[in-house]
Amino acid sequence: MRLGRSMTAVEKIISAHAGRDEVRPGETVWARVDWCLANDISAPMAIEQMKAMGYDRVFDTDRIILVLDHFLPAKDIASAAQARVTREFARRQGIRHFYDVGRMGIEHALVPELGVVRPGDLFVGADSHTCTYGALGALATGVGSTDLGCAMALGEMWFRVPETLRIEFTGRLPRWVGGKDLALLVLSRLGTEGANYAALEFCGEAIERLSVDGRLTLSNMAVEAGAKAGLIPCDGWTSDPGARVAESHSWDVSSLEPQVACPYSPADVVPVGEVAGTPVDQVVLGSCTNGRLTDLAEAAGILAGRKVHSNVRLIVVPGTRDVYRKAMHAGIIDTFLDAGAAISTPTCGPCMGGHMGVLADGEVCLATTNRNFRGRMGHAGSRVYLAGPAVAAATAVMGCIAHPREVVTDDSREG
């Protein structure tokens, strides 16, 4: 039995990796890392930093994950050059976990699928949504490419121990409401800076009933509140009774409506009814937030036997090749095609305005992505609303933002 002060789950993970009996919020410690992740945008900068430090080999070729996903397949010469730098590095180093066109997925959908992340791991990635893996009981956090280059070379880096904000979700989630809606609820209450450099710890009955896919979506968006991590504790890595937390919130979600974030902030959140009827030009279903199989299945259940509105472009982006394959075998892809959707290879493209769905001036999009800042998906004069898969599917059918019950009238079941 461990002796000493009570610690939160995050503090336990950091202390274990720092070789310390305990750590305290605000301390800066040097700790080993279990995994390093980079993509086609961030990897070249991390590689250059390694070189500048005088290192030509990574600390462990089995502990580096490189995923080409943001501009893949390459959209132009510059993105092709970025990808080539990463490919050549992976080949020289003998990186085991290297994922390229035809073998890749959107990184934060792919990594959980690989089964490499374990509870209690310390995982760093040069992408802000690395916090996704907190859903698996790991301390996962985004870092800059300079810090990642250090971690790739040394297998360790510095961390400032974050305070913990605990959020309990009580009650049972209604139909059509899931992890995305919980994430948007958090943002509506905390704002985009309410958890700056803190670790969000999610718990409660609604979390216990939430699918792993839903948990991954919730943890993914912790960074939108400024958090360094979004942890869902698990056996062996839970907070001690009496552990100090900076804030504690408890919210009953049993009557929560599907939530929608309005331009131009993921924290400008309202129930779907308040923006219902807003015309849209495009709907994007997918991304590292909502591109998993259960997300596609939920949307397909609404689209089955229906058509995408003639004024709307529906772009579906499965999160990984495996998701794509399973959706195809389950008939989900056929449902999308029959409805009039376009299906993309896994890519971050439309989420960050890279390609595969860039918006023109004045166009409106409803997306299951995680950010809707001005110019995020294209022209600065475009507008992006964020919502879950059910609202996205209903919106695609109606041609305007819509509650799923406007399309599916049998609303007697709970989700």
- The superfamily CATH assigns to domain 260-406 is Aconitase, domain 3 (3.30.499.10)
Residue identified by tokens 């995982």 is 123
Name the phi and psi angles at 149, rounded to 5.
-60, -40
Crossing angle for the helix pair 212-220 and 107-114, nearest 10 degrees?
Answer: 140
Residue identified by tokens 């439309």 is 350
Give 238-244's long-range contacts (Cβ < 8 A, gap of 24+): 238/9, 239/6, 239/7, 239/8, 239/9, 239/12, 239/164, 239/166, 239/201, 240/6, 240/7, 240/8, 240/12, 241/6, 242/6, 243/6, 243/7, 243/8, 243/11, 243/164, 244/6, 244/8, 244/25
* 49 vs 410, more confident: 49
Mean of the per-residue pLDDT values of the chain = 94
Instruction: Yes or no: say if 158 and 28 are a contact pair by the CB < 8 Å rule.
Output: yes
Of the listed ranges 170-184, 228-242, 357-371, 380-394, the one predicted with least confidence: 228-242
- The superfamily CATH assigns to domain 13-160 is Aconitase, domain 3 (3.30.499.10)
Q: Where in the chain do CATH 3.40.1060.10 domains reside?
A: 164-252
Instruction: Yes or no: say if 122 and 151 are a contact pair by the CB < 8 Å rule.
Output: no
Q: Which tens digits make up the pLDDT trace of 149-161?
A: 999 999 999 999 9
The model's confidence at residue 2, banded by pLDDT at 50, 70 and 90, is low
Residue identified by tokens 């408890």 is 250
In the predicted structure, residue 316 carries a pLDDT above the cut 60: yes
In the predicted structure, residue 410 carries a pLDDT above the cut 80: no
Q: Alpha carbon 154 to chain centroid distance?
A: 27
Instruction: Yes or no: say if 180 and 295 are a contact pair by the CB < 8 Å rule.
Output: no
Can you give the pLDDT at residue 51?
94
Q: Which tens digits make up the pLDDT trace of 91-130?
A: 999 999 999 998 989 999 999 999 999 999 999 999 999 9
The model's confidence at residue 283, banded by pLDDT at 50, 70 and 90, is very high
CATH-assigned architecture of domain 164-252: 3-Layer(aba) Sandwich (3.40)
Of the listed ranges 67-81, 133-147, 169-183, 248-262, the one predicted with least confidence: 67-81
CA angle, corner 232, sides to 229 and 235, nearest 5? 130
Can you give the pLDDT at residue 412?
43
Residue 128 CA: distances (Å) to CA of 35, 132, 184, 196, 331:
15, 9, 17, 13, 33
Tell me the sheet residues that pair with 261.
Answer: 269, 386
CA angle, corner 315, sides to 211 and 404, nearest 5? 55
Q: Alpha carbon 7 to chain centroid distance?
A: 27
Q: Where in the chain do CATH 3.30.499.10 domains reside?
A: 13-160, 260-406
End-to-end CA distance of the chain: 40
Average pLDDT over residues 7-28: 96
